[in-house]
Amino acid sequence: DESKGAISTIARRFGAKTDVESDDDEDTPRQSPIINAADLRTKKRVEAMDNATFEKSWESKAIDEVLMMGVIVLWYLYPTIVQYLVGLMRCRTLDSGGEVYLIADLSLKCSEPIHAFWMFLLFVFIIVYVIGIPWG
């Protein structure tokens, strides 16, 4: 019974109109309070939201432009970068002693473990870049 009293108190506070004003009669069907949108001033807010245009901030526009330019630059430099990455993997046998050296860095022997580590990293990067850019 307290909830019925609370509902009618809330309805009166907001100026709601109810079809049934009696709290004592439980057999009479109760209807929910009817609250006018103008009473809550929501109608004007809803109309304002419907008519509003949401524009991006200049920061958001700048970030979009920078990302777009980055993608364009990567796309145009793609063949050059792929050619350079593949060139980093070439080794050559020098005349002195028959050792195999990396062409990009002649101080690095291709038979050393550090070369294998760098080749693994380069291979992963090539897979991500060479295959990822065209499919991305």
Tell me if 82 sits within 8 A of 129, measured CB to CB: yes
What amino acid is encoded at 80 in this protein?
Answer: T
Top-confidence residue, 136 or 116: 116
Domain range spanning residue 30? Answer: 2-51
Residue 67 has pLDDT above 90, yes or no: yes
Query: Quick one: how far is CA 132 from the chain centroid?
Result: 19
Phi, psi of 52 (to 5 degrees): -75, 145
pLDDT digits (tens, 9 = 90+) for 38-62: 555 666 777 766 666 667 788 888 9
What was the pLDDT predicted at 9?
58
Same domain, 67 and 32: no
Same domain, 34 and 66: no
Which of residues 51, 66, 82 is at a domain's end?
Answer: 51
Same domain, 73 and 128: yes
Same domain, 90 and 32: no
What was the pLDDT predicted at 29?
56
Which helix (H) or strand (E) segment holds residue 101: the answer is strand 100-102
Same domain, 30 and 90: no
Q: If we measure between CA atoms, which residue out of 103, 80, 79 comes closest to residue 90?
A: 103
Same domain, 79 and 62: yes
Mean pLDDT value across the chain: 74
Rounded-to-integer distance, Cα 112 and Cα 94, Å: 16
Same domain, 75 and 39: no
Buried b or exposed e, range 58-94, using 16+ CB within 10 angstroms: eeeeeeeeeeeeeeeeeeeeeeeeeeeeeeebebeee
Same domain, 47 and 6: yes
Query: How many structural domains does the chain have?
Result: 2
120: pLDDT confidence band, cut at 50, 70 and 90?
A: very high
What sections of the chain are H helices per DSSP?
2-13, 37-40, 42-51, 58-87, 113-126, 132-135
- Poorest-pLDDT segment among 15-29, 63-77, 105-119: 15-29
Same domain, 28 and 67: no
Same domain, 23 and 78: no
Global pTM reads 0.43
Same domain, 43 and 104: no
Same domain, 64 and 96: yes
